[in-house]
Amino acid sequence: MDQFSVKVFIRLRPSVLDPAGEATKSASNKLGVEGIKSLRIGKMIEVKIESETENDVREKIDLLCDRLFANTVIEDYEYSIETI
Amino acid sequence: MERFTVGIVVFPGSNCDRDVSWALEACLDIKTKYLWHESSDLGGVDAIVLPGGFSYGDYLRCGAIARFSPLINALHDFVKSGRRVLGICNGFQILTESGFLPGALVANKNLNFICDDVELDVISSKGGWLNNEHQKKGIKLPIAHGEGRYHCDSDTLKKLIDNELISIRYRNNPNGSTFDIAGITNEQGNVFGLMPHPERACDENIGGIDGLYTLKSLIRH
């Protein structure tokens, strides 16, 4: 069995308004940082998982993302896998 | 014959379960029974309410974890059998997360937790949750939510409109919901989810009685 470290990034779909991102963008301007065109807030989930192969991990993470981590009505996801 | 019994689902973090029980028992003389979310035995109940609150602390997304409880699994057959399910606030969020109703509920546009009375236009009485009188006059119900902005894509919205699945719309959209949507039903009409709280509008002394009909209609069909 190999150990894998997976980083899952979950983002609101571009069509979904992100009021928390908008508020943070506005605060960034107040901090004096100019030129921010867009600021959107997502989630990052770190998973350490034991599995036979990387493909195996992929299958499990796909299921987790699709059914639990993200709501695909409003969110997109992507992930990266590293062998530990 | 056994008395008609409404099951009220209790999750860790539910906080409107007792309000719903009070509204049904004390205001409408309807028998209720609390159902712990880990139970999958729905044999003794004739209709179900998913009450408001913060199931599982709203972790990950509102309603996302509740969806995996044994009770929600059992709810699929319950709904298929045609029995009635009412999801209020967090209950509505759970119904969308579990796929019983389309769309999703996300953070209010202005990020405020909004606690207020809202005027609602009644668009459809599909499923008999509301009636023609409501459609003429509209209703007023309280809302209390931070994540009540209904969101769906344009295809879903078209389907909702074409099939008359939108029951109620906000007159003055408080949270940025798509198409001012406050509550929808499934195509069969036996599942109704809404962000406003009908159970908090069941007595003239505490904010009106516009919620009575919807709760009463749990047994009407």
Domains in chain A: ranges and CATH: 2-83 (3.30.1280.10)
For residue B113, is pLDDT > 70? yes
For residue B31, is pLDDT > 80? yes
Mean predicted confidence (pLDDT) in B139-165: 97
Parallel, antiparallel or unpaired: strands B84-88 and B191-194: parallel
Which chain B residues have a beta carbon less than 8 Å from that of A19? 107-111, 176
Within 8 A by CB and 6+ apart from A82, the residues are: A4, A5, A6
Contact assessment for residue B177 and residue B203, using Cβ atoms and an 8 Å cutoff: no
Contact B109 A15 (CB under 8 A): no
Distance from CA of B177 to the nearest CA of A (A): 11
Task: Look at residues A36, A38, A37, A47 and name the one whose alpha carbon lies nearest to residue A77.
Answer: A47
Catalytic residues of B: 89, 197, 199
Contact assessment for residue B142 and residue B200, using Cβ atoms and an 8 Å cutoff: yes
Q: What is the pLDDT of residue B43?
A: 85
Which chain B residues have a beta carbon less than 8 Å from that of A68? 60, 64, 68
Question: Of B61, B110, B111, which has the smallest distance from its Cβ to A71's Cβ?
Answer: B61
Contact A15 B103 (CB under 8 A): no
Distance from CA of B198 to the nearest CA of A (A): 27
Which chain A residues have a beta carbon less than 8 Å from that of B152? 73
Confidence of residue A52 (pLDDT cuts 50, 70, 90): very high
Contact A68 B151 (CB under 8 A): no
Contact A73 B152 (CB under 8 A): yes
Distance from CA of B110 to the nearest CA of A (A): 7
Collapsing DSSP states into helix, strand and coil, what is residue B167? strand
Q: What is the pLDDT of residue B163?
A: 97
pLDDT in tens, B67-85: 899 999 999 999 999 999 9
Mean predicted confidence (pLDDT) in B26-50: 95
Confidence of residue B2 (pLDDT cuts 50, 70, 90): confident
Contact B109 A74 (CB under 8 A): no
Q: What is the pLDDT of residue A37?
A: 95
pLDDT mean across residues, chain B: 95
Q: Is the ipTM of this complex over 0.85?
A: no
For residue B220, is pLDDT > 80? no
Contact assessment for residue B24 and residue B54, using Cβ atoms and an 8 Å cutoff: no
Confidence of residue B206 (pLDDT cuts 50, 70, 90): confident
Mean predicted confidence (pLDDT) in A43-49: 97
Contact A73 B96 (CB under 8 A): yes
> How far is residue B7 from each of residues A49, B20, B105, B195, B218, measured CA to CA in Å?
39, 10, 24, 19, 11
Confidence of residue B166 (pLDDT cuts 50, 70, 90): very high
Which chain A residues have a beta carbon less than 8 Å from that of B60? 68-69
Among A44-48, B109-113, B119-123, B168-172, which is the least confidently predicted range?
B109-113
Contact A74 B151 (CB under 8 A): yes
Q: What is the pLDDT of residue B1?
A: 63
pLDDT in tens, A61-79: 999 999 999 999 999 999 9
Confidence of residue B159 (pLDDT cuts 50, 70, 90): very high
Strand partners, A3: A50
Q: What is the pLDDT of residue B154?
A: 96
Distance from CA of A75 to the nearest CA of B (A): 10
Percent of chain B with pLDDT over 70: 99
Q: What is the pLDDT of residue A62?
A: 97
Contact assessment for residue B219 and residue B32, using Cβ atoms and an 8 Å cutoff: no
Closest-CA residue of chain A to B67? A68
